[in-house]
Amino acid sequence: MQRAHCRGPGGLRRLRSILLLPGGGGQPADEGSVRLGSGKTLEFVSVQADPDDVLWHISTSRPLPALLEQPSKLILNRERRLSLMRYHTVLHVLNTMALRDYDGWITGVQIATDYSRIDIKLEGFSAALCAELERKVNAVLNGDHAVTSYYLPEAKFHKRDDLLITLAAKLPVSQWHVRVEEIQGFDAQACGGTHVNATSEVGRFSIFRTEKKGKMNKRLYVRLDPAVPPVVSPA
C-alpha cells in the first residue's frame, strides 16, 4: 500500500489520497498542486518514492502546521501527464519493433513533453531502416490496440523472457509483484509508467533526428503530432 506525504522547505505533512505519481520507465514524475479549504494552494514540482513505498510530494512552499486536517483537493497537471503518456506508449511500440524486426536492444530512454529520445544497440542502422521503422510504428499506432496494465508475482514474471525489453532495466516491483503494461495483440513488458488507453490516442509519430552514440548505439529523437482534442457534440 502506497502512502503520500507533502514535503516543502522546513516541514512535511501526510496526504490521505494519491493522485500524482513518481514516474517510472524513463518517465518523469508528475506535477500538480493541492488546493486547501482555506483557498491556499501548494504547488508540487515533483513526486519521489522512498524505499518504504511512501510517495513524497515535493512542494515549492512550506506546509504550515495550520494546514493539518484541512479539506483539500489534489490537482494534476493533466496536459503534461497526457503528453508523457503518449510518448511513453509510442516508445513501447518503438522498442518492441526494434527488437523483433532488427534485433535492436534498448539501452536508455528519456521521456519529455515535447519530444523524447531512445538509445538502441543496433547494427546496420541507415536512413532507409529509420524510415521503415517509423512506418511500422505508425501502422501499430493506427491499429487502435487497447493498452492495459496488471501485476504479476515476481516468480511468474521471471519465467517469461518476453516481458523485459530494456537492457539493465530496474523492474517496477511493489509488494513482490511486477507491473506489466500490455498493448493487446502486440506486446507486453515490465513498466512502471503511465500510458494512454489505446494506441490510437498517441497520434502520428516521427523520428526527426539521429545520433551515433558509440560503435553500435544509436540515439533516436522522436516527436508526436499535437494531440487532437475530442469532438464534443453540441447540447
Q: How far apart are CA 128 and CA 134, in angstroms?
A: 10
Q: Which of 130-134, 172-176, 180-184, 186-190 has the lowest mean pLDDT?
A: 172-176
CB 202 within 8 A of CB 224: yes
Size of the chain, expressed as the number of residues it contains: 235
What is the mean pLDDT of the segment spanning 80-94? 95
Q: Please state the pTM of the whole predicted model.
A: 0.83
Q: Which of 12-16, 60-64, 163-167 has the lowest mean pLDDT?
A: 12-16
Listed in sequence order, the residues at least 6 apart from 210 whose beta carbon sits closer than 8 Å to its beta carbon are: 125, 130, 218, 219, 220, 221
What is the mean pLDDT of the segment spanning 18-35? 79
DSSP character at residue 166: B
Measured at the alpha carbon of residue 102, what is the angle toward residues 101 and 103, in degrees to the nearest 5? 105
Q: Please tell me whether residue 103 adopts helix, strand or coil conformation.
A: coil
In the predicted structure, residue 229 carries a pLDDT above the cut 60: no
In the predicted structure, residue 183 carries a pLDDT above the cut 70: yes
Q: Which of 64-68, 108-112, 213-217, 219-223 has the lowest mean pLDDT?
A: 64-68
**Helix (H) or strand (E) segment spanning residue 83:** helix 78-102
Q: What per-residue confidence (pLDDT) applies to 177? A: 85
CB 207 within 8 A of CB 220: yes
Q: How far apart are CA 60 and CA 143, in angstroms?
A: 42
Q: How far apart are CA 70 and CA 38, in angstroms?
A: 8
Q: Please tell me whether residue 216 adopts helix, strand or coil conformation.
A: coil
Q: Please tell me whether residue 101 adopts helix, strand or coil conformation.
A: helix
Residue 38 vs residues 28, 66, 71, 86: alpha-carbon distances, Å: 30, 10, 9, 35
Closest CA to 23 of 40, 45, 52: 45
CB 12 within 8 A of CB 6: yes
Model pLDDT for residues 99-150, shown as the tens digit of each residue: 999 999 988 899 999 999 999 998 888 999 999 999 999 999 999 999 999 9
- Chain mean position to CA 134: 20
Closest CA to 86 of 222, 234, 230: 222
The angle, 0 to 180 degrees and rounded to 10, between the axes of the packed helices 127-142 and 78-102 is 120
What is the mean pLDDT of the segment spanning 203-219? 92
Backbone angles phi, psi at 158, to 5 degrees: -70, -10
